[in-house]
Chain A
Amino acid sequence: MAEKLDKTISIALPKGRLGEKTYAMLEELGYGCPGVMENSRKLIFEDEAATVRYFWVKPSDVAIYVERGAADVGVVGKDILLEYQPDVYELTDLGFGKCRVCVAGPENVTPNPDRTLRIATKFVNIPKSYYHARSREIEIIKLNGSIELAPILGLSDVIVDIVETGTTLKENHLEVKEEIVPISARFIAGKAAYRFKNDEIAAMNAKIAAWLASKQ
């Protein structure tokens, strides 16, 4: 088993649409594996030839699995990389999963620049470094969901969150005030894995690059 795993690439897929899109791409590139897309309780999937091994994890955990060597490679949103700054190689911008990290607040309301800006968000480091660079005093209110609720209830002045289409914001009478950074999915590799499985990872990365070029 250990010897077989020597050349097997372990891939951490983010649960949800991003992971499904990633798997579709990898399947097209010859890295298919039975059962991955089936709705089952199975945690780990391996193909017969043992070239790949997949597992689904929470999107924000992908980078941790790769950084700590439990997965060799993974696909993760740039927002997670900015927020957690994991020590991994960011090999390719996959160009899909596009969205933006934005500052949003109630429509037609401008927060008073004299006051500390209260920000509700699930990110901590992204707004901190953004506002630190602008010398703006802020208070971070860390939430784990329903971020849009915070300014409506007066818990915060604005929110910092991912905006894809802006529909949720509109429904809650919020609007984008500033765009902090555009986001897309990134193909990442662990630093030791990049060395010990260099041929396999380099080949996978080259196939991905060629696939991206063909789509343009």
Chain B
Amino acid sequence: MKETILPKEERAVLAMRALYESFGYTKYKMSKFEDYDLYRENKRFLPKGEIITFPNRDGRLLALKPDVTLSIVKNAREGEQIREYYNENVYRTEDGDCREIMQVGLECIGDIDLYSTCEVIRLAKKSLEILCEDSILDISHGAFVNGLLDAAGLPEDGSRRKFNACIAGKNAHELSELCRQYGVDGEIEDRLCRLLSLYGPFPAIAEDAAALIINDEMESAYQEIAAIDGYFRSMGEEAGLAVDLSLVNDMRYYTGVLFRGYVKGVPTGVLSGGRYDGLLNRMKKDGMGAVGFAVYMNLLDLYFDEGRSKEYDIDILITYDSGTDMAALSRTVDMLMGGGRSVRVQKEADTKLRYREKFHYGERGLEIRG
């Protein structure tokens, strides 16, 4: 099959796989099914949506896998250095409908330092560039917002979720209201609200971001973002990289750098990733770190214009008479196919089929027919 026949997202998957392989990542293949308990214990790590479950013959509850990362982490052994990517379908229900979602992702687990973090972010950025020439990768750091919420004296309970929802929605007016409700100091309230509008290339916001720092947690988060940005600048690859400090995620899992990717034409993030040492801690993989990302290929199917409408089903239709020399007809078909065109042969034309050209193969060979 010629590569150009593949839909854009399938071509992108092939290119991404080649990219990850060239960086020494190996393919992780998993079964469609996994014990439900794995997901039940880590439900908050999973994206929204219900898990599709069913009992097996022993009465054990199985799930159609809603995620791949948890399985990779589950199988990681202490001291192991994992560099794996996957291209799997995951399953969940959204608004009551069962969905199959194609996901491509990459995980880097083990001893994670700045180099491995930058490598994963670089691969995320290159993945976006494969999907679309106009893309943006936002980076943030969970500890930056968390440090500010710590300084606000908020307990680690449902209240943080309310604050995080306002921060992620860049909703300064309701964030102020929440601060008043929870008796947050006016100075911290002001910093929280200022954080929401900080968006852009790191040098453009660095000064304003530095002015928000109030404790060591925020300082070290800031330094990590600065180091990552510095790495991309020294590689000459900073175009399309932005900092969005309002990007937050569940701190129980995502403990460090966070990133999200956008491509032109898709209204929501198509790539999501970050440092998730918290998950490894919860799964008793002591002393191991992890950073990775997933690309939601289903969004591309929904929003990419290419191939959305089709002018023709096939290029050429050939009809023929009974008693036609079959070998001669086949040779003609082979010849016409040579230019990469699709050729369908059937006795009669049908009215639904849309074709560019129509021929009839009769006694005198190929004739043009309407």
Contact = CB atoms under 8 A, between A and B. Distances in A.
Contacts of A116: none
Given A69-B303, A195-B136, A195-B138, A89 B264 contact: no
A92 B172 CA distance: 7
B262 to A, nearest CB: 5
A207 interface: no
Interface string B248-282: 00000000000000101111110000000000000
Given A89-B169, A195-B242, A67 B267 contact: yes
B358 interface: no
Among A67, A68, A192, the one with the most B-chain Cβ atoms within 10 Å of its Cβ is: A192
B168 to A, nearest CB: 9
Nearest to B266: A192
A87 B170 contact: no
Contacts of A68: 267
B280 to A, nearest CB: 28
Interface string A84-122: 000111111100000000000000000000000000000
Contact of B200 (A67, A91, A190, A198): A198
A interface residue count range (under 10 / 10 to 19 / 20 to 34 / 35 or more): 10 to 19
A67 B172 CA distance: 19
Nearest to A191: B268
Nearest to B267: A69
Nearest to B137: A195
B57 interface: no
Interface in A43-70: 67-69
A198 B262 contact: no
B173 interface: yes
Contact of B269 (A88, A90, A191): A191
B303 A90 contact: no
B37 interface: no
Nearest to B302: A68
B267 A190 contact: yes
B262 A195 contact: yes
A145 B174 CA distance: 30
B199 interface: yes
B199 A193 contact: no
Contacts of B264: 192, 196
Interface in A179-203: 190-196, 198, 202
Contacts of A192: 262, 264, 266-269
Contact of A202 (B138, B197, B262): B197
B135 to A, nearest CB: 10
B171 interface: yes
Among A69, A195, A196, A202, the one with the most B-chain Cβ atoms within 10 Å of its Cβ is: A195
Nearest to A196: B264
A192 B261 CA distance: 10
Nearest to A93: B173
A196 B262 contact: yes
Contacts of A198: 199-200
B134 interface: yes
A193 B173 contact: no
Nearest to B176: A93
A202 B174 CA distance: 19
A72 B40 CA distance: 38
A90 B136 contact: no
B138 A90 contact: no
Given A67-B268, A90-B174, 15 more contacts: A67-B267, A88-B169, A89-B170, A90-B169, A90-B170, A90-B171, A92-B173, A191-B262, A192-B267, A192-B268, A192-B269, A195-B136, A195-B242, A196-B136, A198-B200
Interface of B: 134, 136, 138, 169-174, 197, 199-200, 242, 262, 264-269, 303
Interface of A: 67-69, 87-93, 190-196, 198, 202
